[in-house]
Structure 1
């Protein structure tokens, strides 16, 4: 469905039907997806320019160019990136995630984000990241698919725990604060398609960064985080964006 919102062609009839129903109740969902993508590009460039050379992208989804490694390696060709997803369909398209620079390395592993130990076991098995060097953990448009019953904050803490000081968390998360009725309809549509969704307010999203040092401007709507001309759709309302983002450093 995310691929469909972005205008991609790697989706199926069932995806398109569910996505069209979401668009019917909330046409701005396509803007949310595009703003999220633009935020990811800006955050990765920022982190690479801070000297980060290692990235773990959990919840990768269907590849959409430019992918995270394309952006990171454009800044620093020696960046290393490990993609993580639990959807076997992503594996079919993983070749697009492995076309990095000769100086860097990219890898794809299959693991479930709700099982941090499984994620880390799969990442370590590939042996392309140096455990002594800082890593940027990317959780983009992922955690709203993890309900409170699955202990989302504990999952994020467990994913961060093995990372050395100087590592970063970049996270984006949908919110229903600006149109609760529309987002409840979206949640219901996803539930009918077999996917649980839990949107959260700014205070709840801020909790994912507990114990970390937030980069200015803190937890803000996606288009407000280090905006750059031409990095996404034009003038937007809070309702159209409906996505909180933030980057924070592990002390």
Structure 2
């Protein structure tokens, strides 16, 4: 029976991916910072473990408890939408710690076992914002572009050991906590520097309007993650959702 470890399973893409794998007979190690927050269905093939991707000790403990891991899904991360001028350096460091450095650390934790077994798959989750420039996403976009670049290169390193690496690139998913949180912050005011507040409101209004068309659902992302895990012919970079596919083509 195959085992998948997924980070960031409390909500959104990670939670949906965990359910998707469970429904297909896999053993799932669903991780999150606070397992008490889990709303995943009870299953004898499910283990919920604490894991904070910004804490090396937390990663090591979760990986040791999980046992042999066939597939790692690096889904955990944080969103950010603000002008570069309004992004404190403490926030920049936090975004890269969660979105990039945590991905690297978790990969490093599982790779020795995969290399010894000469098998395994690593799937990292990026963002369709990497396909084209978007305002107010500079720092977030930079962190996710780095995840894509990292995965493309590491896929070449690992192929000779029988290990595959792929990056799933979700499109816009307005129903996720990321969008809800940003809208709430804008509504309260004072989130953006004064000079950018009007521009920010216009940008979010445009995003909300575009969300009435083709958007990405959590199910789209779960299906793409599962395909990357099970299809050896899957491309290294896999867009998830109709809008992500369109953006990947330059539309």
- Tell me the TM-score normalized by structure 2: 0.49
Could you state the TM-score of these two structures normalised by the residue count of structure 1?
A: 0.49
Answer with 1 or 2: which has the greater Rg: 2
User: As a proportion of its length, which structure holds more helix?
Assistant: 2
